[in-house]
């Protein structure tokens, strides 16, 4: 049947319409076009002028792409190349050919490479190609360090940059990528500092901070100095009262301040606090006294700082704290190791942060605070 249709079209047999693409007249059968394409179905089965016309001009589609589209409507196959893929996407969107659009998208997913991935990502966003967007963002995230010099940073949209900064493993590479992007796009220090919240400098080496971060002009502000200071101070130290000496422990995984600390079941626990951006965190991490390694514990149900932490008969409690400058909390949570989670307990009578808490005879006393 396919061969017969092709022969009939080539011979002009029973042809009842010609589609014109940029000067090229392509003989067609209305019944085939309408049966294969919703766009032509609406055109030929309505009161539109084109429904009775012998010749229909299709604007915005080149002759090369137009012929490929007509062949696709007849035979449901298409020869896609890197040169014609964008044209086929434009035509499939215009002519409501979702199946063709999906075929082109699958082709492009298989052809992702560093030099063109950003322009391809912008194209995917233009045509709402979700699978291609997902594949390109993963490629960018996974290969940012390997393809750093090849990526078209100037063309990268801010939302895509943020995705990469949030998900790429190396914070050193993320900082350099942010530097390059702001300079390529003509951004300023304010934009740089706003985006820097997505880079965790505390996970970078002190050498990198000394050699690169401190010499970045866009960090030359009170806020930049504070971030550098915080990133340089993620270490923990131990004082031995017997030997009266200080020693250095492994640095915190995530630098923080205004957090709460407690020793609980051979673990030095750091709870909540504020991160480099100044935002509160729900992060909880612990230094194992046996292995001297940090590991994450279950996150708190809320982001909070200056909370009260008390251990009662080997039960760990977190009370109150500040969720922001304006909002304090009266929530009380107890840590459960199996399954690992925080369980809500009876709240305090009033909102409270910055208070002191002590345990005495299985009771928790909360003193002061605001």
Per-residue pLDDT at 312: 96
Distance of CA 278 to the CA centre of its chain: 21
Model pLDDT for residues 190-226, shown as the tens digit of each residue:
999 999 999 988 888 888 998 999 999 999 999 999 8
H helix or E strand, kind and range, residue 261 = strand 260-264
Q: Are strands 308-312 and 294-297 parallel, antiparallel or unpaired?
A: unpaired
Q: Do the beta carbons of residue 127 and residue 101 sit within 8 Å?
A: yes
H helix or E strand, kind and range, residue 267 = strand 267-271
Distance of CA 190 to the CA centre of its chain: 21
Higher pLDDT, 236 or 86: 86
Model pLDDT for residues 249-279, shown as the tens digit of each residue:
888 888 888 999 999 999 999 999 998 778 8
Best CA proximity match to 20, nearest among 53, 65, 66: 66
Residues in the chain: 370
* Coil, strand or helix at 50: helix
* Coil, strand or helix at 306: coil
Q: Do the beta carbons of residue 281 and residue 275 sit within 8 Å?
A: yes
Chain-wide mean pLDDT for the chain? 92
Best CA proximity match to 159, nearest among 188, 193, 131, 118: 118
Best CA proximity match to 62, nearest among 90, 21, 25, 28: 21
The answer on pLDDT for 13 being more than 80 is no
Q: Which residues partner with 356 through β-bridges? A: 367
Q: State pTM to two decimals.
A: 0.69
The pLDDT of 83-111, averaged and rounded, is 96
Model pLDDT for residues 286-311, shown as the tens digit of each residue:
999 999 999 999 999 999 999 999 99
CA distances from 222 to 175, 210, 218, 225, 228 (A): 19, 17, 11, 5, 10
Ramachandran angles phi, psi of 180, nearest 5°: -65, -45
Per-residue pLDDT at 1: 47
Q: Dump the DSSP string for 166-198.
A: HH-S-HHHHHHHHHHHHHHTT--HHHHHHHGGG
What's the rounded Cα separation, in Å, for the pair 35 and 48? 18
Q: Do the beta carbons of residue 330 and residue 351 sit within 8 Å?
A: yes
CA distances from 67 to 21, 47, 235 (A): 8, 26, 66
What's the rounded Cα separation, in Å, for the pair 147 and 108? 19
What's the rounded Cα separation, in Å, for the pair 325 and 343? 25
Hey, what are 117's tokens? 């991935």
User: What residues contact 297, with CB distance under 8 A and at least 6 apart?
Assistant: 269, 284, 285, 286, 335, 340
* Coil, strand or helix at 295: strand
Best CA proximity match to 250, nearest among 261, 266, 267, 237: 237
Model pLDDT for residues 119-174, shown as the tens digit of each residue:
999 999 999 999 999 999 999 999 998 888 888 899 999 999 999 999 999 999 99
Tell me the percentage of the chain whose pLDDT exceeds 90: 76
């Amino acid at each position: 049947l396919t061969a017969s249709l092709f022969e009939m079209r080539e011979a002009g047999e029973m042809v009842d319409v010609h589609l014109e693409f940029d000067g090229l007249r392509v003989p067609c059968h209305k019944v085939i076009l309408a049966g294969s394409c919703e766009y032509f179905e609406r055109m030929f089965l309505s009161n539109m002028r084109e429904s009775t016309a012998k010749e229909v001009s299709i604007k915005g589609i080149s002759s090369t792409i137009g012929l490929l589209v007509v062949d696709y409507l007849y035979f449901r196959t298409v020869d896609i190349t890197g040169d014609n893929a964008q044209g086929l996407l434009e035509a499939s969107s215009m002519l409501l050919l979702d199946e063709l659009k999906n075929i082109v998208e699958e082709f492009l997913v298989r052809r992702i490479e560093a030099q063109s991935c950003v322009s391809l990502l912008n194209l995917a966003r233009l045509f709402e190609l979700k699978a291609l967007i997902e594949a390109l963002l993963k490629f960018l995230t996974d290969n940012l360090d390997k393809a750093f010099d090849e990526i078209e940073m100037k063309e990268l949209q801010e939302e895509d940059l943020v995705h990469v900064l949030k998900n790429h493993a190396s914070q050193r590479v993320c900082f350099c990528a942010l530097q390059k992007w702001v300079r390529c796009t003509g951004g300023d220090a304010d934009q740089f500092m706003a985006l820097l919240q997505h880079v965790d400098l505390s996970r970078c080496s002190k050498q990198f901070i000394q050699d690169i971060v401190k010499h970045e002009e866009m960090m030359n502000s009170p806020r930049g100095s504070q971030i550098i200071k915080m990133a340089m101070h993620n270490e923990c130290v131990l004082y031995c009262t017997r030997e009266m000496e200080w020693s250095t422990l492994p640095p915190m995984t995530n630098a923080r301040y205004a957090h709460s600390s407690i020793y609980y079941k051979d673990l030095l626990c750091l709870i909540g606090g504020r991160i480099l951006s100044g935002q509160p965190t729900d992060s909880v991490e612990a230094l194992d006294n046996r292995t001297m390694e940090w590991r994450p514990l279950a996150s708190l149900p809320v982001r909070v700082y200056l909370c009260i932490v008390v251990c009662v008969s080997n039960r760990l409690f977190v009370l109150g704290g500040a969720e922001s400058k304006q909002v304090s909390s009266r929530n009380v949570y107890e840590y459960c190791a199996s399954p690992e989670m925080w369980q809500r307990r009876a709240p305090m009578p009033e909102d409270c942060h910055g208070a002191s808490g002590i345990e005495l005879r299985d009771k928790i006393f909360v003193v002061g605070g605001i």
